[in-house]
Structure 1
Amino acid sequence: MRQRRPLLVFLLAMLLGGLGAQPGYTTVETTSAKARKFFETGMRLRFNRHFPQALEQFEKALKADSRFVDARINRAGVLAVLGELEAAEAGFEAVLELAPQYDPEVYFDVGLVEWRLRKFDEAALHFQQYLDSPADSERRRASARKFLADARFRAEALRHPVPFEPHNLGPAINTPRDEYLPSLTADGKTLIYTTVVNGQEDFFVSHWKDGRWERGRPLEGINTPMNEGAQTISADGRLLIFTGCNRPTPLGRSRCDLFYSEFRNGKWTPVAFLEGKVNTRAWESQPSLSADGRTLYFASDRPGGRGGSDLWVSQRLPDGTWGEPQNLGDSINTAQGDEQAPFIHPDGQTLYFISDGHPGMGKDDIYFARRRPDGSWGKAQNLGYPINTEFNEGPLFISLDGRIAFFGSDRTDFPGAQGRMDIYYFELPEKARPRPVTYVKARVHDALTGEPLIAEVEFVELGKRQTHAHAQTDEQGTFLVTLPTGANYALNVSREGYFFYSENFALEGYQGREQPFELDIPMQPLPGASGDGETPPPPIVLRNIFFESGSATLLEASLVELQRLLKLLQDNPELRIQINGHTDSVGTDADNQTLSENRARAVYDWLVEHGIAPERLRYKGFGETTPIADNDTEEGRSRNRRTEFQILN
């Protein structure tokens, strides 16, 4: 154990001694020979880790010279090692009272003891005093800065705890084995998690049915004799990306890489190496896929990071591979710690992760950050105590509505534990919730035969006129797409040989939605495509044609739908259509008739202005005479105010 004695203080003491001034303490150079002998014996014993015997020698030294500051410092240090923290704190405080400028390291040491005693306000004071001192060890100063930030955070967090009531997911999921790392599909009906079977990590799956989770079972087609874990499931449940370690890959046998499998025709495809730039010979793990399937977040210790393990993001390229990852930057990643286990919520704006580098309660804490308007990430925010504790906290998965968090934990103080590590859920505090998200789940089929159709699905955010999501229906004609609230969306479903289908989702101003949108989408074949040229299809509603209130002036948000209708007519030059206008029952019959005609005429005029021959078009107003919903509710009136087109023979 080194004897700490700043040279500057020593020279000053010698100078004052030469001038006749006497300090209020003695040192190893100025104490008595008897005290020095006990001290030197104690230092040898301490160096050899014989701490009780060393303590006895330091106390003998102090009995010989009670003002012997070096003996006081080392006595307090040994008491701290022996776990006698209250006595150690008192010993260091006595040193600071006796010789406050003698050794700045004492401020650091007493701060550590008070940290262990959970006296975080006092610890913060002493860490700050250490940083204000001339102590010049940059490594120790960096450690002090981290302890200072953590102590200040802990003191405030303990004074202002957040609500936290964890619930065990129950015996259908949790067993005497370890279960952890839960992930769910957007509809909340499929749960995939990691469990340990015979010392090996495998995936299990459970389905929500009749108000409860079915018993978990092995995920067929994915599990192997090797470990599988740390997975992410796409919103629609069709793509699983996970971590595999020590496997042969195109890059050789690397530490950990990302692999994937797709759910097709009722089973998982053979596991494949994730193509593109994500995998390297470094460690890549803990993926999180965005709800639209175009962005992948993951943890890696690859070169170019800020610290040990950092969080990175990669974009899916048009060819389906993954592009060059970008580091998430200083607001997320720290130089002094590890960041791991990212989870990007389906709102696309809120990121959750664990870190031991940001100010927190102890080891791995859970944090969240929100994306700024410029695309960068805001400051990482700790979820608070008692969600975070002095233990390691596990990764979170947040429900679509942002209310419920799922996580794995080995905490023994949680109720209902089934094994060493179980999966729990709790209600997320308001401040940490993401923007609520709902989803659209639909089945697309031929309107005449009922057969499922593989069709292209596009959602456009109308305010930005940008594609929010693009998907394709599966073999059963189904799709699932998530929609963050706070914006309005246009849905377009298209397939060659069919009229397009449109729907509108007005979510601007929504704070949440208890029920998702579940649709049945019949696609009308184009004339001649079905072999039935006798019966024209019923009118097709254009759900994304909008007008100023009480007016026939088209709003800019209508352009997305108008352009689709224009393209339909351009691609099918034989088509002749009639534009129909309809209103709700508010107002007089005459006014509604006039308004419906003018609105139909506005669409007619727009198409003519954009090159469609007038002889291919007609328009007609129906006023309030042909409702398709109840006019007693705002939702019904909204559906009755519509524009549609029908085929002319």
Structure 2
Amino acid sequence: MKKSLLTLLSLGILANVQAQIRRPLGPPVNSPQFNEYAPSISANNKTMIFETDRAGEGKWELYYTTKNEKNKWTPPKPIVNINKVASENDLIGGPSISYDGKTLFFFSSFDGGQGDMDIYHSTWDGTDWSSPKPVGNNINTKAYEGFPSVSADGKTLYFIRDNFSKRKDKALCYTIWSSKKQEDGTWGVAEKLPAPINGDCEKSPRIMADNRTLIFSSVRKDGVGGFDLYQSFQEDDGTWATPVNLEYINTEEDDQFASVSAAGDLMYYYTAGDIYTVTIPDKYRKYKLVTVDGKVIDAITKQPIATKITSKSNNAKEKAISTVVDANGLFSMIYRVGSKYDLTTSPLNDYFPYRGSMDMSTAKETDNIEKNIELIPKKIPYQFQLLDKETKAILKDPKVKVMDVETKQLLDVKVEKEIATVTVEIGKQYKFAANALGYAFFSRAFKPDTADVFKDRLKKVPLAILKKDAVVQLQDITFETGKAELKPESNEELDRLVSLLEGNQTIKVEISAHTDDVGNDDSNLKLSEKRAKTVVDYLTTKGIKVDRMTAKGYGETQPLVPNDTDENKAKNRRVQFKIN
């Protein structure tokens, strides 16, 4: 059986490329003493998997090669986890690597299969290919199934099937079938492609990166020799156009095993025991394509994220493109040159959905485009470092509290190397308070937003040392408009001042109130005096002795900033204390 199978594969092509230049890949991929068959290329054109007999002893196995930083193919290596499953007389062939480079389909005569040849798949885990698994009984039968080809979107698997009942010109003939991936990830019941794809004798289909162009081998009346390569395009209504003879490559020999780059500009093929390439003429290319490689990562940690990317074209006739991104975060997407796309990611519990764009209007198919997608986490770390306000020296043993304004719950704050770290949720309101031994306290309200992800989130907080004439502005001290009555939200900050005075019994302070320039000077002065006294009265009710405090109103005489905007006027309306 091995000899007959090798006869199926030992097919040369392209004796005359009709003005198209063919180029052997050369070493280290091609070797003078071994055969290299049926190449399959990843979307980024950086990985090639092919079938070869270089293992010796009549074995046909799968090998892979990748491009190095100089864009040169590296010495091929065996795919051990697949090859080791084969017994002595098993054939492994017809590799088809998915466009995202994560799944490899192939056929083999492994023990325990459904028929003479079955289709299997293996997945890339970031370091190696997994042990092969059959694609399922909706595809594999007691007949012969081989030469799989998966669409760029991963939703359709094309392959050949036959029970060797038909023969034409002493060649084994097949029919081309396809199976759709189901919602549960399994492959659905296979269906035979209609005419004009299937005629009397077809073989080795390859679906192109646009998910609509199918190249396959066939024996037809307008052919040049035995098997010739043909190309058909699936129309918007789902029908297939009349296959076109690829005259630029077909010869009097059997022409098969074509694999086309994702950009659609270069065909890889087998002839005379080696792998060659030939440039595809523009007239055979309905669309020009470009590949975008990238990684989905956490915008802060840069760690990879598993998700699903969907690209929707501004061309209504172009179908949306989706790709599933695994835990390694890597993806390859194929776009039409000249189109623009809106990109989104699927919802994730810990991240905001990504919304971006991809403009291919000026792209070239030869471009090597790389684009990382950074997902913004819903929770982000904030850090605080306390400094001496005058010397800028880092303060030891910082005391930091962060409270969720809505729930009134204190968050867990961890201090390491004099830096306090807390995890906060974007869009929520928080209050921060800090102090250190011998220093005044500091407090602020803050609300994290998505822009903070791309900023330095280490906040350096200056604290005033507790010494004569040190001035500290109190936060969130509010009064009824035009009056001296404190609003309840002022209590939290005033209670911090109570704690400070209780912990430093020798300190005496001046409580001063200030206004903006709205109204007349005399009214503002009197209002500020009343407000300062109201604060002193509150502190007295909390047990602070009145002889330690002086109330002073300054009206509009000591503005921090010019009273030329509403924002500046709000800054000038304030209450502060000074150590006497």
CA distance in 2, matches of 1:378, 1:368: 9
User: Which residue of 520, 526, 542 corresponds with 2:372?
Assistant: 520
User: Which residue of 243, 253, 257 corresponds with 2:107?
Assistant: 243
Give the secondary-structure state (helix, strand or coil) at the position aligned to 2:81: coil
User: Which residue of 13, 21, 25 corresponds with 1:165?
Assistant: 21
Distance apart, 1:228 and its partner CA? 1.0
Query: Is 2:424 aligned against 1:532?
Result: yes
CA distance in 2, matches of 1:532, 1:246: 55
Query: Is 2:62 aligned against 1:203?
Result: yes
Distance apart, 1:180 and its partner CA? 1.1
- Equivalence for 1:355: 218
CA gap 1:319/1:306 in 2 versus in 1, 3 angstroms: farther
Are 2:159 and 2:205, in contact at CA under 8 Å, matched by a contact in 1?
yes
Q: Which amino acid aligns with 2:174?
A: S
Are 1:400 and 1:436, in contact at CA under 8 Å, matched by a contact in 2?
no
CA distance in 1, matches of 2:197, 2:291: 29
Question: Which stretch has the larger CA shift, 362-371 or 526-535?
Answer: 526-535
Are 2:159 and 2:178, in contact at CA under 8 Å, matched by a contact in 1?
yes
Distance apart, 1:277 and its partner CA? 1.0
- Equivalence for 1:554: none
Q: Deviations over 1:132-163 (max 9, x none)?
A: xxxxxxxxxxxxxxxxxxxxxxxxxx9x9842
CA gap 1:532/1:339 in 2 versus in 1, 3 angstroms: same
User: Which residue of 389, 392, 404 corresponds with 2:266?
Assistant: 404
- Equivalence for 2:158: 297
Query: Is 2:368 aligned against 1:503?
Result: no
CA distance in 1, matches of 2:325, 2:83: 27
CA distance in 2, matches of 1:341, 1:202: 18
Give the secondary-structure state (helix, strand or coil) at the position aligned to 1:525: coil
CA gap 1:358/1:397 in 2 versus in 1, 3 angstroms: farther
User: Which residue of 176, 179, 183 corresponds with 1:314?
Assistant: 179
- Equivalence for 1:333: 198
CA distance in 2, matches of 1:516, 1:325: 36
CA distance in 2, matches of 1:264, 1:520: 20
Give the secondary-structure state (helix, strand or coil) at the position aligned to 2:198: coil
Q: Which runs of 5+ in 2 are unaligned?
A: 1-14, 382-421, 426-445, 454-580
When you count strand as a share of all residues, which structure comes out higher?
2
Distance apart, 1:306 and its partner CA? 12
CA gap 1:313/1:169 in 2 versus in 1, 3 angstroms: same
Give the secondary-structure state (helix, strand or coil) at the position aligned to 2:283: helix
CA distance in 1, matches of 2:17, 2:294: 42
CA gap 1:523/1:162 in 2 versus in 1, 3 angstroms: same
Distance apart, 1:236 and its partner CA? 1.3
Which structure is larger by alpha-carbon Rg, 1 or 2?
A: 2
Give the secondary-structure state (helix, strand or coil) at the position aligned to 2:371: strand
Q: Deviations over 1:338-393 (max 9, x none)?
A: 200111110122111111134211111111111222111111111115x2111111
- Equivalence for 1:273: 134
Q: Deviations over 1:467-488 (max 9, x none)?
A: 6233333333222222233543
Q: Which amino acid aligns with 1:396?
A: A
CA distance in 1, matches of 2:246, 2:380: 60
CA distance in 2, matches of 1:406, 1:434: 19
Question: Which stretch has the larger CA shift, 492-501 or 421-430?
Answer: 492-501
Q: Deviations over 1:446-483 (max 9, x none)?
A: 22222222233222234439862333333332222222
Q: Which amino acid aligns with 2:157?
A: L
Are 1:229 and 1:244, in contact at CA under 8 Å, matched by a contact in 2?
yes
Are 2:263 and 2:291, in contact at CA under 8 Å, matched by a contact in 1?
no
Are 1:440 and 1:519, in contact at CA under 8 Å, matched by a contact in 2?
yes
Are 1:527 and 1:536, in contact at CA under 8 Å, matched by a contact in 2?
no
Query: Is 2:293 aligned against 1:441?
Result: yes
- Equivalence for 1:216: 76
Aligned length: 366
CA distance in 1, matches of 2:164, 2:211: 27
Distance apart, 1:434 and its partner CA? 4.5
Q: Deviations over 1:229-258 (max 9, x none)?
A: 101100111101100125313x4xx11110
Q: Deviations over 1:274-332 (max 9, x none)?
A: 12411111111101100010011111116999994111111111111111222222211
- Equivalence for 1:183: 40
Are 1:343 and 1:353, in contact at CA under 8 Å, matched by a contact in 2?
yes
CA distance in 2, matches of 1:358, 1:263: 42
CA gap 1:161/1:425 in 2 versus in 1, 3 angstroms: closer
Query: Is 2:331 aligned against 1:468?
Result: no
Distance apart, 1:527 and its partner CA? 5.0
Give the secondary-structure state (helix, strand or coil) at the position aligned to 1:221: helix
Give the secondary-structure state (helix, strand or coil) at the position aligned to 2:66: strand
Are 2:164 and 2:174, in contact at CA under 8 Å, matched by a contact in 1?
no
Tell me the TM-score normalized by structure 1: 0.53
Are 1:163 and 1:429, in contact at CA under 8 Å, matched by a contact in 2?
no
Q: Which runs of 5+ in 1 are unaligned?
A: 1-157, 411-420, 542-649
Q: Deviations over 1:551-594 (max 9, x none)?
A: xxxxxxxxxxxxxxxxxxxxxxxxxxxxxxxxxxxxxxxxxxxx
Q: Which amino acid aligns with 1:285?
A: G
CA gap 1:216/1:324 in 2 versus in 1, 3 angstroms: same
CA distance in 2, matches of 1:349, 1:276: 26
When you count helix as a share of all residues, which structure comes out higher?
1
Distance apart, 1:400 and its partner CA? 1.8
- Equivalence for 2:207: 344
Give the secondary-structure state (helix, strand or coil) at the position aligned to 1:391: coil
Query: Is 2:243 aligned against 1:380?
Result: yes
Distance apart, 1:214 and its partner CA? 0.7
Are 1:402 and 1:437, in contact at CA under 8 Å, matched by a contact in 2?
yes
CA gap 1:465/1:391 in 2 versus in 1, 3 angstroms: closer
CA distance in 1, matches of 2:117, 2:102: 23
